[in-house]
Amino acid sequence: MELLLGFTVLAIPALLSWPLGRYMAFVLDNGTGSVMNPGRITGLIGGEITQKPQNWNEYAWSMMLVNILMFAIVTIILAFQQGLPLNPDGKTALEASLIFNTVSSFVTNTNLQHYSGEVFMSYFSQLFGLMWLQFISAATGIACLAALARGLAGKTKMGNFYLDFTNATLLILLPLSLFLAIMLMAGGVPMTFEGAAVAKTLEGATQTIARGPVAAMVAIKQLGTNGGGYFGPNSTHPFENPSAFTNIVECMAIIIIPMASVWMFGFMTGRKKDAAVIFSVMMVLLLIKVFIAVNLEHAPSAAFAGLPVTSGPNIEGKELRFGLGAGALWAAVTTATSNGSVNSMHESLNPLTGLIPLAGMWLNVVFGGAGVGLINMFIFIIVGVFICGMMVGRTPEYFAKKVETHEMKLALLALLVHPLLILGGTALFASTPWGASTVLNSGAHGFTEIMYEFTSAAANNGSGFEGLGDNTVPWNIATGIVMLVGRYVPIILPLAIAGSLAAKKTVPETSGTLKTDTVLFASIILGSVVFIGALLFLPVAVLGPVADHLSSVMH
């Protein structure tokens, strides 16, 4: 049954990703002059600047300008939510560092939550602040991938961010979210603007039950690889994920746009075979993650060792409505993408199972976030091409353009920012009371709690080891900064590389040219991702999850 579940969750989005990727390419490239193009509205409002083709740095500046504006607007909404409409339960303003962390989180497509939505947020804040950012941040990633594809196709003018951003929001994310929200409402997810329900229990006690416009937020949270829950328990909550049907639908929604983004890239560059190679590498890595996670989580719980009870699998922190396999599958999928939603508590995973979500976020290229997963993979591709070129003694090439020192400097900087944020932040907080005093568990597991939080923030994932007491000023500020740097530097630098390559002359293909649409090149990409990832993160893996596993076995 679990094998059938895993096959369904991965196979159906994989099949649907091809036509969706074709449609996304049409919307963002070939269809920009059609009558369906909402960019015409953007042009009427913003004038020529919203229509003029941009080079890579103009595109990047426009992207940052829009994101800064988004940040400012939602900061104001959260600071003054007590005076805004749609607040039937009387929610008050948030603490300043929590506002900074929350806005940083949602504007960067991370949705790391140091709060419980039903406790802290009004309906207005949830819908017109956080849900709005879930649309906008996902559209930003898709738009930037479109620009990267145009640059690699040889176009020095890489499109117009305002136009791409509008099309991605209104023609891709909005219709998909409406469709998914209707499916979720049919499956029992609530959608209401009434206040919390007050009910009497069988014992006669009064119970206040939070509710609200949940279906709308859950739809874009999954499709946009956002992951931020309407409720604190996220998709373990029965109002966000009521049944096996909604569980399967939501899990498939997590992965479908990242998969489709690969095909969109292939269509826009005119290199569908190259896209197939990249898709295959990502799928192999995802299948390995899922297989290992499901098997490790079925291992007997070490907590039962030596006790006069029947040994069984680890069911702590799992939604028994869905089962162990569904929890491990979701954990693998949500951290392969930058989604971060959960249907079980990652804190409660077996230690070695907990290593699988960490590995997905360390690599950050196994389909990844909407658009940005392939942008991250592009960095590994450039590094792999350069290494191969040096091995055979010729100038490396990618898409018939020479990869030289300038591009490699940018690629290595983009590659090293990710581990620097994770390892630097972990070292600082593990060695000071800022982190050491907030962990739930001592020893290796507590170290993993700190490391997981910085990994999730740097990978723009948003999931967490929820035993950590992370709603403190140091945690809010530190992870907020990490999320911002971890989002924009790995987007801007690849755009700069693509812009640099686009400005170069095309190199004629010869017998010595490394073909990028072959099984050999797939092996090169896979090797680059695995070996570079292992070199960067194997030491902390040993200090955290591996040491945690060994200590539990020894006890």
- Read off the pLDDT of each residue in 436-457 and give the average, rounded to a whole number: 92
Residue 14 has pLDDT above 60, yes or no: yes
pTM over 0.85: yes
Over the stretch 458-515, which tens digit does the pLDDT of each residue have?
A: 999 999 887 888 999 999 999 999 999 999 999 999 999 999 999 999 888 777 778 8
Which letter does DSSP use for residue 277 in this model? H
Over the stretch 192-207, which tens digit does the pLDDT of each residue have?
A: 988 888 888 888 888 8
Cα 209 from Cα 511, distance rounded (Å): 68
Element (H, E) at 445: helix 443-458
497-370-472 Cα angle (round to 5): 100
Over the stretch 323-341, which tens digit does the pLDDT of each residue have?
A: 777 888 999 999 999 999 9
Are 258 and 368 in contact by the 8 Å Cβ rule? The answer is yes
Cα 523 from Cα 284, distance rounded (Å): 11
The residue type at 110: T
- The encoded tokens of residue 331 equal 């954990």
- The encoded tokens of residue 453 equal 């939080």
Residue 37 has pLDDT above 80, yes or no: no
540: Cα within 13 Å, side-chain hemisphere: 26
- pLDDT tier at 318, thresholds 50, 70, 90: confident
- pLDDT tier at 309, thresholds 50, 70, 90: low
Cα 164 from Cα 38, distance rounded (Å): 10
- φ/ψ bin of 234: left (φ > 0), alpha (ψ from -120 to 50), beta (otherwise): left
Which letter does DSSP use for residue 213 in this model? B
- The encoded tokens of residue 442 equal 């001592």
